[in-house]
């Protein structure tokens, strides 16, 4: 479980949406052509790719912006592109993803593009289109002015350096100075061996190879490499240094110590774009007020997700929410939600392909019948939402002596169960309004019901869901427990 779990969930579910993050750097268009290879060309000893599909995605600094947008942030992009069809294609994708491009400068040089030829999951060839010429000075001055003018409106700034010429020394110095003056976190992803270019940044995020080039220490000599990195940290005035170490995870170096977060990847298919995901998640987390350790842990989780995909596919908030809310992985209090937050969480789960199951009840004194019902519910889907009658509702339904256990305590007990993913209280006599709001895929009721007597069945069936009736466990009910306790107490009084 991550540190500051509740704060992380708050950011993922609605907090990132209020944050503005600026990405300044080398903007590109990434194309992918996929197919199958089953023979060698008779014309030359090269594989023949039978085309299956193709697509284009924003690359470089634009991919960082895509990751920010995926997290829910307001992403702003500042860099160069040309006057060509690639620019039009890239701009259309960015606009579709609500990324602000007012910081972009149109150059006399072409839009940078990379085309990857992929056989199944294996990259066979990459074709790059870019000029070897430097950007004209007037264009560099224009970019610097635009970037600096945007800093004051932001909550964080990222310098995404792919060594293509957008991030000149004067631009970096001006943007870092502007961000520091306003106490705004500024993060840099380096592609040059001279880290002085980023002096004064909050953090620089090199991988082991980049750090090796910058220090002259071999990448496989990890202790010596990290010791040399600490020298860079102090020399250039970084608050901390974030070293991505591939399958080893992420190490954070600070003047007073270090912290290591082990890798979270389940299965690695493609590491391209993982660094973009790390710096985007880190920047958004720091902008949202998370501590450094929490920010790094969340970035590590995000990286573990994207390396399981093929190509530069950005992270999304719903993927993180889904991964971070398994039944046994969060505190019980983090599962108790109001209706508004629950609707948001359910939408995140559904976007990740989860099947939402809903059941409801008073659950006054927890017994084996309740446990059996909830375990049965989990058989019908991957996420179980429990609607819990509030105290006033229970009193109207069961009489003035009920509930025996108050709503807050009942909610806490139910949320502690591994089979339950979320608990929400409702004050009405029936959960109809809640069902209408959540639109669950499966509605489950225990007892002697028929489908047409279950409250909310019309709502669920109308949107293509289903209703399941599970039998109750004979002899177990809260009412029976209360009767036994009352009879026992009366017997003791007689004696």
Q: Which residues are catalytic?
A: 276
Cβ neighbors of 43 (< 8 A, separation 6 or more) are: none
The answer to whether 311 and 270 are in contact (CB under 8 A) is: yes
Distance between CA atoms of residues 304 and 306, nearest Å: 6
- CB burial readout 112-134, b (16+ within 10 A) else e: bbbbbbbbeeeeeeeeebbeeee
Nearest-angstrom CA–CA distance, 455 and 432: 6
**Cβ(58)–Cβ(95) below 8 Å:** no
Biggest distance spanned by C-alpha atoms of the chain: 103
Residue 65 CB partners (closer than 8 Å, separation 6+):
23, 58, 75, 76, 77, 94, 99, 280
- Please state the separation of Cα 206 from the chain's center in Å: 21
In angstroms, the CA 276 to CA 62 distance is: 9
Residue among 238, 240, 243 at smallest CA distance from 225:
243
- Residue 382, annotated as binding a ligand: no
Up-side HSE of residue 258: CA atoms within 13 Å toward CB?
15
Check whether 207 is labelled as a binding-site residue: yes
Taking a C-beta distance cutoff of 8 angstroms, is the pair 145, 10 a contact? no
210 marked as binding residue:
yes
List the one residue out of 353, 345, 297, 301 whose CA is nearest residue 323. 301
20-25 and 74-78: which strand pairing? Answer: parallel
What residues are designated binding site?
A: 207-210
What residues are designated binding site for ATP?
A: 207-210
């Amino acid at each position: 479980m991550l540190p500051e779990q509740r704060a992380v969930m708050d950011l993922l579910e609605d907090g990132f949406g209020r944050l503005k993050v600026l990405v300044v750097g080398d903007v590109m268009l990434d194309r992918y052509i996929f197919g199958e290879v089953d023979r060698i060309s008779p014309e030359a000893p090269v594989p023949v790719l039978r085309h299956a599909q193709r697509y284009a995605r924003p690359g470089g600094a634009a991919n960082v912006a895509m990751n920010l947008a995926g997290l829910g942030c307001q992403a702003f992009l500042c860099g160069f592109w040309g006057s060509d069809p690639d620019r039009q294609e890239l701009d259309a994708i960015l606009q579709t993803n609500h990324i602000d491009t007012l910081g972009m400068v149109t150059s006399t040089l072409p839009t940078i593009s990379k085309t990857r030829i992929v056989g199944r999951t294996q990259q066979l060839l990459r074709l790059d289109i870019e000029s070897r010429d430097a950007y004209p000075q007037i264009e560099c001055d224009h970019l610097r002015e635009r970037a600096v003018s945007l800093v004051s409106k932001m909550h964080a700034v990222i310098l995404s350096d792919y060594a293509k010429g957008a991030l000149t020394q004067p631009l970096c110095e001006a943007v870092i100075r502007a961000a520091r003056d306003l106490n705004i976190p500024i993060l840099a992803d380096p592609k040059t061996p001279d880290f002085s270019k980023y002096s004064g940044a909050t953090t620089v995020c090199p991988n082991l190879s980049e750090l090796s080039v910058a220090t002259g220490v071999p990448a496989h000599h990890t202790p010596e490499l990290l010791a040399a990195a600490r020298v860079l940290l102090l020399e250039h005035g970084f608050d901390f240094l974030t070293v991505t170490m591939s399958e080893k995870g992420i190490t954070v170096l600070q003047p007073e110590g270090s912290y290591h977060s082990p890798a979270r990847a389940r299965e690695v298919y493609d590491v391209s774009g993982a660094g973009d995901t790390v710096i985007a998640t880190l920047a958004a987390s720091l902008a949202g007020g998370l501590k450094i350790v929490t920010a790094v842990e969340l970035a590590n989780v995000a990286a573990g997700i994207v390396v399981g995909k093929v190509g530069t596919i950005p992270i999304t908030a719903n993927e993180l929410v889904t991964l971070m809310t398994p039944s046994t992985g969060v505190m019980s209090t983090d599962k108790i939600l109001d209706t508004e937050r629950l609707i948001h969480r359910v939408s995140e789960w559904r976007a990740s392909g989860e099947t939402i199951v809903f059941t409801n009840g008073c659950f006054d004194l927890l017994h084996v019948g309740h446990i059996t019902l909830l375990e049965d519910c989990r058989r019908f889907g991957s996420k179980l939402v429990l609607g819990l009658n509030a105290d006033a509702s229970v009193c109207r339904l069961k009489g003035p002596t009920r509930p025996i256990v108050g709503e807050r305590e009942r909610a806490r007990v139910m949320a502690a169960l591994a089979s339950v993913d979320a608990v929400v209280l409702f004050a009405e006599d029936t959960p109809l309004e809640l069902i209408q709001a959540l639109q669950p895929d499966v509605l489950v009721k225990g007892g002697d019901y028929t489908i047409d007597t279950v409250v909310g069945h019309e709502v669920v069936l109308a949107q293509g869901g289903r209703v399941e009736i599970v039998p109750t466990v004979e002899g177990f009910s809260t009412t029976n427990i209360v009767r036994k306790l009352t009879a026992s107490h009366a017997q003791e009084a007689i004696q």
